[in-house]
């Protein structure tokens, strides 16, 4: 919003989306907050095309939703693997497909899909998460090569540890919050969490013309954890 975009915020909890939109509005930005269940294919597609209808353009899609289910091969159920695939891969496919219907005819657009640094490395005991995060990077690269000549870019954002509630699966895997903090401080070469602001700046970079020659890239922000 600070870069001049009108932002459409969606969330499974309508109040959270409205709260973020209100925060943007309070500092002079333009935003709207909407309820959306991204596992509902029709609703997801409709939300994206409706945003284009309301605002007359769709320059950027940031497809961010995801789920983290901890466990190895013998712990994760087939239903949990299906849930991971549906949210971490399939929903991004549906979203990109809908966005492409309006971006391709106009010959421009930027699609950003949130993967993870777990998509470029392997985490013990996280089979569903790692499998789907690797898969979505492959999908991003395929979209990029298929639509580069149409002027539409597609890149993956691969954050490492940022201090948010999304880390619950890793906390469980590692044996609690203190163990995760020790890992972040002692194992990540930069010795700290990433910040929400650092991730947001990277989204702006991928969305904007600053990255106009970048497509099919997995942008890793993890303090060198995956190296």
From 129, 147, 183, 205, the catalytic residue: 129
Q: Please give the radius of gyration of the chain, using alpha carbons only, rounded to the nearest integer.
A: 18
The secondary structure of 69-102 as a DSSP string is --B-TTTS-HHHHHHHHIIIIIHHHHHHHHHHHH
Q: CB of 88 within 8 A of CB of 133? A: yes
- CA distances from residue 100 to 62, 110, 186, 191, 198 in whole angstroms, order as listed: 13, 10, 43, 39, 28
- What one-character DSSP code corresponds to residue 12? S
In a domain, 24, yes or no: no
Look at residue 167 in the predicted model and tell me its pLDDT: 80
- Six-digit token string for 164: 């948010």
- Give domain status of residue 182, yes or no: yes
Give Dmax (Cα) for the chain: 51
* Domain membership flag for residue 198: yes
With H, G, I as helix, E, B as strand and everything else as coil, classify residue 187.
coil
Our count of domains for the chain comes to: 1
CATH of the domain at 157: 3.40.50.720
Annotated catalytic residue 183: no
Whether 91 contacts 136, CB under 8 Å: no
Instruction: Going residue by residue through the chain, which has 227 residues, state the pLDDT in tens, using 9 for 90 and above.
Output: 788 899 999 999 999 999 999 999 999 999 999 999 999 999 999 999 999 999 999 999 999 999 999 899 999 999 999 999 999 999 999 999 999 999 999 999 999 999 999 999 998 889 999 999 999 999 999 999 999 999 999 999 999 999 988 888 778 878 899 998 998 999 899 999 999 999 999 999 999 999 999 999 999 999 999 99
**Domain-embedded: residue 26:** no
C-alpha 180/C-alpha 199 separation (Å) is: 20
pTM (2 d.p.) = 0.93
- The pLDDT assigned to 166 comes to 82
**Domain-embedded: residue 138:** yes
Cα dihedral 49, 50, 55, 59, rounded to 10, equals: -20
Nearest 10 degrees: Cα torsion 48, 49, 53, 56 = 70
Residue 135, pLDDT score = 99
- What is the three-class DSSP state of 226? coil
Per the structure, the complete domain to which residue 151 belongs is given by 58-221
Q: Is residue 25 domain-resident?
A: no
In a domain, 179, yes or no: yes
In a domain, 157, yes or no: yes
3-state helix, strand, coil in the chain (%, to 5): 50, 15, 30
């Amino acid at each position: 919003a600070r870069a001049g975009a009108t932002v459409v915020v969606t969330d499974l909890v309508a109040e959270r989306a409205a709260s973020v939109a209100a925060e943007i509005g309070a500092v002079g930005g333009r935003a709207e907050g909407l309820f959306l269940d991204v596992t509902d294919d029709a609703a997801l597609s409709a939300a994206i095309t409706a945003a284009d209808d309301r605002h007359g353009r769709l320059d950027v899609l940031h497809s961010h939703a995801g789920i983290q289910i901890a466990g190895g091969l013998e712990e994760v159920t087939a239903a949990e693997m299906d849930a991971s695939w549906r949210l971490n891969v399939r929903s991004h496919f549906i979203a990109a497909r809908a966005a492409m219907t309006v971006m391709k005819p106009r010959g421009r657009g930027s699609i950003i899909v949130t993967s993870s640094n777990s998509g470029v490395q392997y985490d013990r005991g996280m089979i569903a998460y790692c499998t789907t995060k690797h898969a979505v990077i492959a999908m991003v690269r395929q979209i990029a090569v298929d639509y580069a000549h149409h002027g539409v870019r597609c890149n993956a954002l691969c954050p490492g540890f940022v201090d948010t509630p999304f880390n619950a699966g890793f906390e469980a895997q590692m044996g609690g919050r203190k163990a995760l903090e020790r890992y972040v401080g002692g194992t990540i070469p930069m010795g700290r969490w990433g910040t929400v602001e650092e991730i947001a700046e990277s989204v702006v970079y991928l969305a904007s013309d600053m990255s106009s020659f970048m497509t099919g890239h997995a942008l890793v922000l993890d303090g060198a954890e995956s190296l």
